[in-house]
Amino acid sequence: MPKSLCLALVGYGKMGKMLEQIAVGRGHEIKARIDLREPGAVQNIDVGILTDVDVCLEFTEPSSAVDNILRLVELGKPVVTGTTGWYQHLDEVKAFVVEKNGALLYASNFSPGIHIFQRIVAEAMRLVNHFEHYDVSIHETHHRHKKDAPSGTASTIARIILDKIERKTSVIEGNYEGRVPDSALQVSSSRCGEIPGTHSVTIDSSADTITLTHTARNREGFALGAVMAAEWLYSKRGFFTMEDVFHDFESL
């Protein structure tokens, strides 16, 4: 078992509560719950409540993530963040982490299952690259409360596909009217009910269709991966992604 950690939950919404359940189940202690709106949580990040905290788990919303991360890094706390929709600020956040000799690990999807899925997609795309008559698209479905689209995971999968298929050179997002250029990869999204997250890659020709789908059954996989990331990060300094964690895991 990894060392027992003192954790802070920054964001005590759906993910915060699932993180608590998984972290406690793995022998960790929740020292602080910080949330602007949730009962039972304190509203602000302050030095006092973070004194004994080893790692902060930041799962809030796109407009809050950057300020939260910078504040926590300034306070010298290692941060695992799963909030999506702020990646246009990645370079400035990375520069800040390096300048402060801080520790940050971010991922658009912490689920070990999605990591396996992305590896499968990458290998499938390596093959599809040799067969010009196949087209490819991505569709993702999430619950209707999700604030960003497409999902961070769909964008990551899109980058994998562009990297592997030479004839795909751009991405078209959202509801697109008109003919999709052959060189474009369409990434579409739908929002419905309480779906935790489904990502499908369709590979299609006039003769057949191959569909690769990852379906999250609940938030458990995300939370497990994020707690594993905290266990991995707590004694390190630097700027990391979940790829670094899985890489070490696979080489054990």
Contacting residues toward ligand NAD, per CB under 6 A: 10-16, 34-38, 59-61, 64, 68, 82-85, 107-110, 146, 219, 222
Q: Output the smallest distance, CB 83 to ligand NAD, in A.
A: 4
Q: Cβ(215)–Cβ(109) under 8 Å?
A: no
Told to judge if 214 belongs to the known catalytic residues of this protein, a careful annotator would answer no
Told to judge if 133 belongs to the known catalytic residues of this protein, a careful annotator would answer no
Catalytic member of 142, 164, 199, 214: 142
Pick the closest to residue 161 from 214, 124, 107, 212 (CA basis). 124
Q: Output the smallest distance, CB 202 to ligand NAD, in A.
A: 23
- CA torsion angle 168 162 63 46 (round to 10): 180
Q: Output the smallest distance, CB 39 to ligand NAD, in A.
A: 10
Residue 31 or residue 146: which is nearer to ligand NAD going by CB?
Answer: 146
Catalytic member of 14, 17, 89, 146: 146
Q: Cβ(6)–Cβ(31) under 8 Å?
A: yes
Bin 124: left if φ > 0, else alpha if -120 < ψ < 50, else beta. Answer: alpha
Residue at shortest CB range from ligand NAD: 13
Q: Output the smallest distance, CB 67 to ligand NAD, in A.
A: 7
**Cα(210)–Cα(106) distance, rounded to whole angstroms?**
31
3-class SS at 61?
A: coil
The residues, ordered by sequence, that sit 6+ positions from 200 with a Cβ below 8 Å of its Cβ are 138, 139, 140, 211, 212, 213, 214
Q: Output the smallest distance, CB 129 to ligand NAD, in A.
A: 28
3-class SS at 147?
A: coil
Residue numbers annotated as active site: 142, 146
